[in-house]
Structure 1
C-alpha cells in the first residue's frame, strides 16, 4: 500500500513538472506589452494588421451570376432606352408585345418618362404615356401625369352575382380612355405613403369579338346589366394610403403591407351612375429557414357605394377569377358590386432566381356592402413556379384546380401585387 502511495505521488509530480515546463515555454513565445505600451498603440497595430489582409475573392459562380444579372436581367427589369414591353394589357388579353421608350435620367434623375404601345393576337391594344417626377422635397414627394387608351375586344361576362352560370358565357368590347394627375407624399423613410389624384375616364362598350361566344348584348339587357346600353363618362378622384412595414429577406420581404384606395366616380353623362369604390388589402410575409421558405397571406376587399337612384355600371364592378385572385376559375368569372378574397401561399427557393409555390384562394362577390361575408364562397388550390430577380417576380407559371376545372396561367406579374385598377 505504501508503495502505491509513493507511486501516485511520483506520477502526480511528473505531470505538474510537465505542465510548468509548457507554461514556461508559452510565456517565452507571448510578447507581453510593457508598461510603456498604450492602449492606442495596440489599437493602431491591429488596424495596420487589418489593412494588410486581402478580401476574400468571390467565387467563379458568383462572378458569372453578377455578370448575367448586369447584362441580361437589369436591362429587362430596369431599362433606360428604346426597348420592348411584354404584357401591359388587362388580364385576358393574351400575350402582348410592343415598343417601349423609357428614360430614367432626365432632370438629374428626378423625371422618369415611360411610353409604350402593345397589342396581342386577340386584337387587344393599349397605349400609355407617363411622366413621374420623383425624389422631390428630399424624397418626400412624387408627382405623376399619365394618359392611356385601351381596347379590350373580348371581355368575358357571365352575368352578375356568385350564382352566375357558365352557360351564359358572353363577351363585350370595352374601351377606356383615361388621363389623371396626382401627387403622393412619402414619410418614415418611404414606409408610409399617402396621395390623391384627379382625372377623367371615357367609356365605350360594344359587341365582343370572341369567335364562338355570343355578344353580351344578345343575352343580357340594361335591366340586369346596368350600363350595357347607357354608357357614361366620368370625372374621377382617388385617395390612397399605403403602409409598407416589411424588411428585406433572402427571397421575399418580411412583414406586413397595408393598402387602401377610395375612388369617386362622378357621372357626367346623366345616366345616374355616380358611385365610389373602396379597396383595401393586407399582405403578410413570414420567411423562415434562413429565408429559403416563406408563408404569404393576402386579404382583399372591394366594395362600391352609391346613393339612392344611382347604380354601378357592370364594366366597373369588382370581379373575381383569373391569375391574380381565384386562380382555379376563368378570368372575370364573377361580377358584383363588392368582392372579398383570401389567399395563402407556401413558397420555397430551389435556386437564386427560381421559387416553387403551393397556393389556395377563396372568395365571393356580393350585391351590397351589408352582404359581405363567407356566403357562397368559391375556392381553389394549386401549385406554381416563380422566376425572380432578387425579391421581384418577373414571370410566374400557376396551375389552379377548382370545381369548374383546371386553369393554367403564364403571366408577367406578382400574384400578391399591389392594389390595381384597369383604367
Structure 2
C-alpha cells in the first residue's frame, strides 16, 4: 500500500509539472492576443491642436521674418491691449559691428509706440557694447488708484502719458559673467486727462498734494551706473543659473526744478533646473527705492507701480503706487512637450512711502497657473491666470515674466 501511495504522488507531481508549460503558454497567448488588439490613446482636440502648432513650427517661422521685415507683437505697456506693427532689422552691418532696428506699433486700445535702436555689440574685441535707443509712446488711459499702499480698488481713474526718450548706454565686460556700465539720456513727458470715459480722469479725483506732478509737466536729464552678474545658461530662456542686476540713476528736473530724485533698482533672479532641465524653479526678488531732497517731490507717474502681468498677476494693472516698491515671485515650470511648458506661481509685494518699510510685513499676494509657448529657446507667448482677494486676471503676453529690461529711462517709467 505504501508503494502504491508513493507512485500516485509521483504521478500527480509529474502531471502538475507537465501542465506548467501549458499554463505559461496560455498566459503568453493571452498577452499576444491583447497586444494585437491594443489601440492608441485618443488625443483631445486641444492636445491635437497644440501638437500641430508645434510640429508646423509656426512660432519659429513668425519670429524669423523676411528680408529684414517682421511683425512686432506685444511689448506694449500692461493694459494697453493687443499691439502689433512692422519692424525692420539688420544685423552685422559695417563688417559685423552694428545692428539696427526700427518699429512702429498700435494697439487695440489706441496706444502707440515708435522705437529705433542702433547697437554696437562687439567693440574692443567684444569687451565693450554701445547702444543708442530712441522711443516715443502715446498711452491714453493708464490706470491710477492714487498714491499709497491702501487705496481702494473702487477709486479707479485714468490719465494720459505721452513721453519721448533718448538713451545711450556703454557697457564693459571685464569677465565672462560681469557687466559694468553707464547710461545717459533725456526724457520728455506730457501728462493729461485720461481718454477712457468709463472712469474719472485722475486730475478730477486727486489734488497736486495727493499726486505730485498731476498739474505740472517736466522733462528729465538722467545719468546712471549699473552692474550685472549674469551666469544663466541661456539668457533668452534660462533653465539654470542666476542674473543679478543693480542700477542707480539720477533724474534731474530740467523744466520745473521741483521733481529731481534718485532711484536704486535691484533685480535678483535665480533658476534651478533638474530632471535634465525639464523642470525649473524660477525665483525673483525685485526692489525699486527712491529718494529726493526735502524741497523735491517725485511725480506720481515716475513712482514705481505694482499690479499686472509682470509682478502681482492677480491684480489689475498699476493697482498700487508709491515712492518705493518690492516684489517676490516664484514659479515652478515643467515641460509638457517640446515647445510648451506649464507653470504654477506665487507672487507677493507691496509699495511703501519710506525705505524704512522695506520688510516682509503687509505684503499683497497672488497665486496662479500658466502656459509658456517657446520658440528659438525663449518664451514667445505667455498665458497666465492670477488669483488674489480682489478677483482674478488673465494675461496674454509676448515676453517672459522675468524679462531683462534695458538699462536707462525705462527703469523709471511704466514698463513695456
> Aligned equivalents of 1:157 and 1:193: distance in 2?
36
List aligned pairs for 1:4-43, cutoff 5 A: none
List aligned pairs for 1:378-397, cutoff 5 A: 378-397=364-383
2:144 aligned with 1:157? yes
Shift, 1:379, TM fit: 0.2
Secondary structure at 1:224 match in 2? coil
> Aligned equivalents of 2:130 and 2:232: distance in 1?
24
- Which residue does 2:78 correspond to in 1? 91
Q: Is the 8 A contact 2:134 2:165 kept in 1?
A: yes
Secondary structure at 2:154 match in 1? helix
Which of 265, 287, 295 matches 2:251? 265
Shift, 1:253, TM fit: 2.5
> Aligned equivalents of 2:187 and 2:66: distance in 1?
29
2:169 aligned with 1:182? yes
- Which residue does 1:416 correspond to in 2? 402
> Aligned equivalents of 1:153 and 1:123: distance in 2?
8
- Which residue does 1:28 correspond to in 2? none
Aligned length: 357
Q: Is the 8 A contact 2:65 2:71 kept in 1?
A: no
Which of 338, 345, 367 matches 2:331? 345
Runs of 5+ consecutive residues of structure 1 not aligned to the other structure: 1-63
Secondary structure at 1:145 match in 2? strand
Shift, 1:417, TM fit: 1.6
2:113 aligned with 1:129? no
- Which residue does 1:370 correspond to in 2? 356
List aligned pairs for 1:51-200, cutoff 5 A: 73=60, 76=63, 81-189=68-176, 191-200=177-186
Deviations 1:329-383 (A, max 9, x none): 0000000100011110011001111000000000000001112112321000000
- Which residue does 1:313 correspond to in 2? 299
- Which residue does 1:6 correspond to in 2? none
Deviations 1:26-46 (A, max 9, x none): xxxxxxxxxxxxxxxxxxxxx
Shift, 1:88, TM fit: 2.9
> Aligned equivalents of 2:165 and 2:371: distance in 1?
34
> Aligned equivalents of 2:174 and 2:106: distance in 1?
38
Secondary structure at 2:60 match in 1? helix
Deviations 1:48-75 (A, max 9, x none): xxxxxxxxxxxxxxxx999965x86166
Structure with more relative contact order (C-alpha pairs < 8 Å, separation 6 or more): 2
> Aligned equivalents of 1:350 and 1:114: distance in 2?
34
CA RMSD, aligned part only?
2.1
Q: Is the 8 A contact 1:396 1:411 kept in 2?
A: yes
Deviations 1:183-236 (A, max 9, x none): 1112323x1111111111011000011131110011001010000001211101
List aligned pairs for 1:327-338, cutoff 5 A: 327-338=313-324
TM-score by length of 2: 0.82
Which of 321, 326, 334 matches 2:312? 326
* Poorly superposed stretches of 4+, deviation over 4 Å: 64-69, 77-80
List aligned pairs for 1:232-271, cutoff 5 A: 232-247=218-233, 252-271=238-257
Secondary structure at 2:290 match in 1? strand
Q: Which has the larger radius of gyration?
A: 1
Q: Is the 8 A contact 1:326 1:363 kept in 2?
A: yes
> Aligned equivalents of 2:114 and 2:356: distance in 1?
38
- Which residue does 1:25 correspond to in 2? none
Runs of 5+ consecutive residues of structure 2 not aligned to the other structure: 1-51
Q: Is the 8 A contact 2:232 2:238 kept in 1?
A: no
- Which residue does 1:54 correspond to in 2? none
> Aligned equivalents of 1:323 and 1:364: distance in 2?
15
TM-score by length of 1: 0.81
- Which residue does 1:304 correspond to in 2? 290
Q: Is the 8 A contact 1:298 1:343 kept in 2?
A: yes
Q: Is the 8 A contact 2:307 2:313 kept in 1?
A: yes
Q: Is the 8 A contact 1:198 1:236 kept in 2?
A: yes
> Aligned equivalents of 1:67 and 1:141: distance in 2?
40
Greater shift after overlay, 105-114 or 223-232? 105-114
CA 188–80 in structure 1, closer or farther in 2 if over 3 Å, else same: farther
Shift, 1:390, TM fit: 4.5
Q: Is the 8 A contact 2:252 2:261 kept in 1?
A: yes
